[in-house]
Amino acid sequence: MSLLTEISRMKSMMGLVTESKHYSFINRVTNQIFREIKDKFPQAVEDFRNGNTEGPQINIMDVIGQEGNTLWGQDVTIIHPFLKFWLNTIITISEDTYQAEGANSPEGEDEEGKYKDINFIMLEFTLPVDVNWQRLSIDLKMLLRHELEHLLQDGINRRKGQKVEVDWDLWDKMDSGDATIYDYFTSGFEVDAFLMGFNLKSKKLRIPFRDLFDDFMDTYSIDADVRDKIYQTWMDRAKELDLKLLSEQGSSITSGFQNIIDNALQELQDEAFDMGLGEMDELDEISSVDKIKVKDFVNDEVPVLYVDLYVNSNRRDFDNIIANMEYEVGKYIPNVQIINNIIDTRTFGPGIDW
């Protein structure tokens, strides 16, 4: 292996580790916020029904920093080894509107010039009374990752080696007509933030990145040729960052995994004919599975292969089969983990009718 190749590999690994730490932090924070929203939601809906529509029904303030510290006069509520910022989550209830927006201030200055040293992120949601909780959970994570990227681009949280500069005049330029929506979506600091946010959402939902991109662009009525230029800019930047995106290429990759899984399952089923009475549990496990269908592959820090197990019994323990599949796929993708979803093909039997 050449020195340049090894350096490139090490940079890629460092990037994966760093992003994994961001994901871990975001999951911890948003899970806490999500639980608090769910706890307060019934009362918030009642307030909305009673005509209390002045201001948000739920307002959550968290202070992120080092343990035992205060930040701009507020005690730290969420521990982080080096980040320092206020996180404000605002929920407004509506009858049937869903809207999610984020804002940030890496420079630490509000519209009136106050709090010049304060860094903050605001996550603002309008939620319908019959809110889709999964959608909210995913969007909390996506928005926080997007705004966190902006926080790392400037101010006291600016990451070491940060090269992309923030154009603080871009929004004024758009208002005056000196910049277009194309300029916004291809500006370096926004491209990085959108990539990080959508990449997280894509992997959480196991939806190709391009599909999320197109759905998002549909809300802006952007012409196809402009949309393609924006997408190409994002893909070029993703390549520079060595960002592993979930894409349609997964269809050809998963077909290869499907062949491996099919062959491995067939071998197990063939071996089942020679099993004795002392191996009845193993025999029951193998005979309970009709087929295994590969659904998706995510090549992240820990590679994950998602599969559906089509079963014909009420058995739900398939550890031996999964371990065998991980071993076979692991010959090509080291350290792969297989996450299974069980699909019961029976129309009658224990667990279905009684």
Write out pLDDT tens, residues 66-79. 888 887 788 999 99
Residue 250 has pLDDT above 60, yes or no: no
Residue 193 has pLDDT above 50, yes or no: yes
* Mean pLDDT (whole number) for 235-249: 81
Instruction: Report whether 86 contacts 120 (CB < 8 A).
Output: yes
Name the pLDDT band for 4 (thresholds 50, 70, 90). Answer: very low
Residue 276 has pLDDT above 60, yes or no: no
- Strand 120-128's sheet: what is its strand order? 78-79, 58-65, 85-94, 120-128, 99-105
Amino acid occupying residue 219: T
* pLDDT for the residue 21: 73
Amino acid occupying residue 73: G
Question: For the chain, how many residues are written?
Answer: 354
Name the pLDDT band for 196 (thresholds 50, 70, 90). Answer: very high
Number of H helices, E strands in the chain: 10, 10
Q: Which of 144, 129, 90, 84 is closest to 108 using CA atoms?
A: 84
The number of angstroms, rounded, from the C-alpha of 87 to the middle of its chain's C-alpha atoms is 19
Greatest alpha-carbon pair distance for the chain in Å reads 81
* Mean pLDDT (whole number) for 212-217: 92
For every residue of 224-247, DSSP letters joined together read HHHHHHHHHHHHHHHHHTT-----
| Global pTM exceeds 0.85 | no
* pLDDT for the residue 309: 93
Name the pLDDT band for 117 (thresholds 50, 70, 90). Answer: low
Looking at per-residue pLDDT, the higher value among 277 and 188 belongs to 188
Name the DSSP letter for residue 156. G
* Mean pLDDT (whole number) for 181-201: 94
* pLDDT for the residue 228: 94
Cα–Cα distances in Å, from 335 out to 193, 200, 204, 338?
Answer: 29, 21, 20, 10
* Mean pLDDT (whole number) for 180-208: 91
Looking at per-residue pLDDT, the higher value among 51 and 29 belongs to 29
* pLDDT for the residue 277: 47
Pairs from 28-37 (Cβ < 8 Å, separation ≥ 24): 28/78, 29/62, 29/64, 29/78, 29/87, 29/144, 30/137, 30/140, 30/141, 30/144, 32/62, 32/78, 33/60, 33/62, 33/89, 33/123, 33/140, 34/136, 34/137, 34/140, 36/60, 37/89, 37/91, 37/136
- Of the CATH numbers 3.30.70, 3.10.310, 3.40.50, 3.30.300, which one belongs to the domain with range 250-344? 3.30.300
* pLDDT for the residue 257: 86
* pLDDT for the residue 15: 42
Name the pLDDT band for 336 (thresholds 50, 70, 90). Answer: very high
Question: What number of other Cβ atoms are within 10 A of residue 106's Cβ?
Answer: 23
Looking at per-residue pLDDT, the higher value among 65 and 55 belongs to 65
Residue 278 has pLDDT above 70, yes or no: no
Kindly report which listed range (24-28, 69-73, 182-186, 311-315) carries the lowest average pLDDT score. Answer: 69-73
pLDDT digits (tens, 9 = 90+) for 95-114: 999 999 998 876 555 555 54
* Mean pLDDT (whole number) for 322-347: 90
Q: Which two tokens stand for residue 143?
A: 């928005």
Q: Which two tokens stand for residue 279?
A: 């191996």
* pLDDT for the residue 354: 46
* pLDDT for the residue 12: 40
d(CA 232, CA 269): 46
pLDDT digits (tens, 9 = 90+) for 129-185: 999 998 999 999 999 999 999 989 988 888 888 888 888 788 889 989 999 999 999
* pLDDT for the residue 252: 55
d(CA 294, CA 338): 10
| pLDDT averaged over every residue in the chain | 84
* pLDDT for the residue 248: 54
* pLDDT for the residue 7: 38
Q: Give the residue extent of every domain in the chain.
A: 1-132, 163-247, 250-344
Kindly report which listed range (33-42, 56-65, 142-151, 168-177) carries the lowest average pLDDT score. Answer: 168-177
Residue 65 has pLDDT above 70, yes or no: yes
H or E segment and range at residue 36: helix 3-49
